[in-house]
Amino acid sequence: MPLVNERELLLPALEEQRAVGAFNANSMEMVQAFVYAAEDTTKELGKPVDLIIQLSPGAAKYAGWALGAGMVRIAATESKIRIALNLDHATKLEEIQKALDNKFTAVLFDGSSLPLEENIKMTKKVVEMCHPQGVPVEAELGKIPKIEDYFTGAEIGHLRSLSAPEAVKIIREKAGESVEKLMAKPEDVERFVTETGIDFLAAAFGSIHGIWGDIWPVRVDRLVAIQKRTRLPLVSHGSSGILMTRKDAEEKGVKLAKGEGTLLDAIQTGGVTKVNVATALSVAFIEGFVDAYKGNPSEKDFRKLGIPARDRVKQKTAQYMRLFAGVR
């Protein structure tokens, strides 16, 4: 079916306390993996699983705006899954205009590096550009940092080799205080939402972009305080790193401090309705490709390596989809 407006996916999900996965695509294989996962999960659960595919401005430049958006549009047309196309983390008005020109059905304007007043001013401009064309706008309040803001590449490599509790301990020591300071302030929420006129709110609640392996607890207490100030769907960023469930936390030996919780808590009690995942899926593709090549170093047919890589992404995506639907 044709691409759908992201509002049509998120407003019913908010009512039903479930979430829709928003997955970042960087190639044709990623787009296919997301659609196949949604199709399989729809059959498995016996109810429709919706899908948001998103391109960052970097991904749109990598593929070319028209080819990137066109690929998602054609994949949607060929499937029965309801799919929205979102521009992820735009920081410039020109990027928003490109998304409108290429018929994206949602955008995220990320003004989180700006002072609050400037963030409000710019976000309002984005809403004025998008709403006349019916395109909903997500905006960021507080700041969701990147793991690279705190650790070098070599340090990240080392962290990946540690157990979950060891890695969490080190990340807490180095980044914990800073991440807490960057969280959205509940007292700013009403003003930000009212003055900008946004549709969805990406409020920082303690996650970090680019962690791996579902190990990091988030501040569900802060999320609940934010949710009390707005009826809008809330968006989780940096979700690759977040612990999936309390059971996972227990199994991995990660202790939750007071006020902390998991992705499932954020969805079921914190109003999170859109969950952005990028790193975990990119890593799944790379690992699938590399493992297939290691298994057959004489292989020269790209497709023989692309298929297992795509399958790896499909499996991880389906795992998220079950969680977001409330099924484990």
The binding site for ligand G3H (CB under 6 A) comprises 24, 88-89, 209-210, 237-241, 276-280
CA distance 273 to 275: 7
Provide the minimum distance between the beta carbon of 198 and ligand G3H in the complex, in angstroms, as a whole number: 16
CA distance 291 to 169: 30
Q: Residues in contact with Zn ion, total (CB under 5 A)?
A: 2
Which residue type sits at 274? K
Closest CB to Zn ion among residues 249, 275: 275
130 burial type by CB count under 10 A (0-12 exposed, 13-18 middle, 19+ buried): buried
Provide the minimum distance between the beta carbon of 179 and ligand G3H in the complex, in angstroms, as a whole number: 13
Which of 42-50, 120-128, 275-283, 294-302 is the region at the interface with Zn ion (rule: CB under 5 A)?
A: 275-283
Provide the minimum distance between the beta carbon of 285 and Zn ion in the complex, in angstroms, as a whole number: 18
Provide the minimum distance between the beta carbon of 239 and Zn ion in the complex, in angstroms, as a whole number: 8
Closest CB to ligand G3H among residues 193, 263: 263
> 3-state class of 104 per DSSP?
coil
219 burial type by CB count under 10 A (0-12 exposed, 13-18 middle, 19+ buried): buried
Supply φ then ψ for residue 134, to 5 degrees.
Answer: 80, 10
Closest CB to ligand G3H among residues 72, 305: 72
Site for Zn ion in 235-254 (CB under 5 A): 237
Nearest Cα neighbor of 80 from 46, 36, 22, 44 is: 36
Our CA dihedral for 237, 177, 152, 208, rounded to 10 degrees, sits at: -10
Which of the listed partners (ligand G3H, Zn ion, none) does 63 bind, with a CB threshold of 5 to 8 Å by partner kind? none
Nearest Cα neighbor of 325 from 85, 96, 21 is: 21
Asked if 274 touches Zn ion (CB under 5 A), the answer is no
Q: How would you classify the pairing of strands 137-141 and 106-109?
A: parallel
Cβ pair 4, 85 in contact under 8 A: no
Our CA dihedral for 89, 113, 184, 164, rounded to 10 degrees, sits at: 70
Provide the minimum distance between the beta carbon of 118 and Zn ion in the complex, in angstroms, as a whole number: 20
- Determine how many CB atoms are found less than 10 A away from the CB of residue 40: 16
Cβ pair 113, 149 in contact under 8 A: no
Which of the listed partners (ligand G3H, Zn ion, none) does 239 bind, with a CB threshold of 5 to 8 Å by partner kind? ligand G3H
Closest CB to ligand G3H among residues 23, 292: 23
Closest CB to Zn ion among residues 241, 288: 241
Query: 301 catalytic, yes or no?
Result: no
Which of the listed partners (ligand G3H, Zn ion, none) does 240 bind, with a CB threshold of 5 to 8 Å by partner kind? ligand G3H
Q: What is the per-residue DSSP string for 45-70?
A: HTS---EEEEE-HHHHHHH-HHHHHH
Provide the minimum distance between the beta carbon of 111 and ligand G3H in the complex, in angstroms, as a whole number: 14
Closest CB to ligand G3H among residues 282, 292: 282
Which of the listed partners (ligand G3H, Zn ion, none) does 21 bind, with a CB threshold of 5 to 8 Å by partner kind? none
Task: Exactly one of 88, 110, 214, 265 is catalytic; name it.
Answer: 88
According to DSSP, residue 64 is labeled -
Which of the listed partners (ligand G3H, Zn ion, none) does 317 bind, with a CB threshold of 5 to 8 Å by partner kind? none
Which of the listed partners (Zn ion, ligand G3H, none) does 279 bind, with a CB threshold of 5 to 8 Å by partner kind? ligand G3H
Using CB under 5 A, list all residues that contact Zn ion.
237, 276
For the annotated catalytic residues, the residue numbers are: 88
